[in-house]
Amino acid sequence: MDPYQPIACALYDRLERAIVTRSGLNIRWCEGSLQRQDRVTILTLETASGEEFLGFEDHAGCRYRVRLDAIHFVD
For residue range 22-69, list pLDDT tens digits in order: 999 999 999 889 999 999 999 999 999 999 999 999 999 999 999 999
pLDDT above 90 (res 10): yes
What class does CATH assign to 9-74?
A: mainly beta
Q: How confident is the model at residue 2 (pLDDT cuts 50, 70, 90)?
A: confident
If one counts every other C-beta atom within 10 angstroms of the C-beta of residue 42, the result is 23
pLDDT at 51: 97
Domain ranges in the chain are 9-74
pLDDT at 54: 97
Rounded CA separation 17/33 (Å): 29
Q: How confident is the model at residue 13 (pLDDT cuts 50, 70, 90)?
A: very high
Rounded CA separation 9/35 (Å): 23
Rounded CA separation 48/37 (Å): 24
